[in-house]
Amino acid sequence: MADLSRYLDNAYEGNEFRELADSPVDALEGVSVGDAEQLQAAFNIRTIRDLAESKYVLRAQAIVNLSR
C-alpha cells in the first residue's frame, strides 16, 4: 500500500484503501469536523468517496484540465 500518511489524520493511517474511501471526509489531513459538517450540509458529501465523485469536484477538475 502506498504511504498516504501525509494526507490523512493519524487515526486513519494504515487503513486499507477500501476503508479510506468510505471514511468521513475529516479523515483527510486539514479537513476539520466543522468542514465536514459544512460539506455535508452544502453538498451532501459525507465520505472521501462522495468528495471524489462529487459532480462539482469533477466539473472543476474538467475545467482546470481543459484550461491547460
Say how far apart CA 14 and CA 12 lie, in whole Å: 6
pLDDT computed for residue 4 by the predictor? 87
Scanning 11-54, the segments in alpha helix (DSSP H) are: 17-21, 33-43, 48-52
Say how far apart CA 3 and CA 61 lie, in whole Å: 24
Closest CA relative to residue 45, chosen from 57, 32, 54? 54
pLDDT tens, residue by residue, 9-23:
999 999 999 999 999
Specify the pTM: 0.90
The answer to whether 8 and 20 have CB atoms below 8 angstroms apart is: yes
Say how far apart CA 10 and CA 28 lie, in whole Å: 9
Percentage of the residues of the chain whose pLDDT score is greater than 90: 93
- Domain containing residue 35: 5-66
Q: How many domains is the chain built from?
A: 1
